[in-house]
Amino acid sequence: MSDQKVKTKDSNELLNILMIIIGAIFVLAGIVNLLAYFGISLGLDLSNPAIQEVLTILGPSGFVSIILGFWCLVSGIGMFREQEYAMGMGLVVLSIMAVQTLLVMIGWVGTNWWTNWLNYIILAAFIIGALGFFWLLFTYKRYH
């Protein structure tokens, strides 16, 4: 008998959970954005500046946010199973997320961005996107 232990793969559980959460936020923001575009307010005051910022938080199109959020959810779930497709998909989704939120943050230059709590969601999405992208690059061997 051998006393060797079977070594199982260890997932990036924190990154997976964060991708699922951010993916859900992207999907919800995209749905709200699309509904607002079609004049459906869901009881929200669409003239409120905070609501306007939510509608533009994740890009110009609700469809893009929904699709990006959906694939972020799929990737986060697939990475729990250590699937190769999830790692590649995660790299793409996280890089797009980082660039998209960076473009929003560039618009903050010269403003009091810290006064709106919604901006912290954008900041968190940027950090998760940028750090998660590099984390996946450095740990890619676990998916092969």
- Per-residue pLDDT tens over the stretch 14-63: 889 999 999 998 888 788 778 777 777 666 666 777 666 666 654 456 78
Say if residue 14 is exposed, middle or buried (CB neighbours under 10 Å; 0-12, 13-18, 19+).
exposed
Domain presence at residue 92: yes
Q: Is the dihedral of CA 40, 42, 45, 47 positive or negative?
A: negative
Domain presence at residue 110: yes
Domain presence at residue 95: yes
Residue 120 confidence class, pLDDT cut points 50, 70, 90: confident
Domain presence at residue 1: no
- Which pTM value belongs to this model? 0.75
pLDDT at 89: 92
User: C-alpha 103: how far from its chain's center?
Assistant: 15
Q: In the predicted model, what is the mean pLDDT of the chain?
A: 79
Domain presence at residue 3: no
CA angle 123, 68, 28 (to 5 degrees): 75
Number of domains in the chain: 1
Domain presence at residue 113: yes
Give the Cα separation of 118 and 93 in Å (integer): 21
Q: Range of 91's domain?
A: 13-143
pLDDT at 93: 93
Give tens-digit pLDDT for 77-99.
998 887 888 888 999 999 998 99
Domain presence at residue 5: no
- The three-state DSSP-derived secondary structure of 38-85 is CCCCCCCCCCCHHHHHHHHCCCCCHHHHHHHHHHHHHHHHHHHCCCHH
Domain presence at residue 84: yes
pLDDT at 6: 45
Residue 141 has pLDDT above 60, yes or no: yes
Q: pLDDT over 70 for what percent of the chain? A: 78
Residue 6: partners with Cβ closer than 8 Å, 6 or more residues away: none
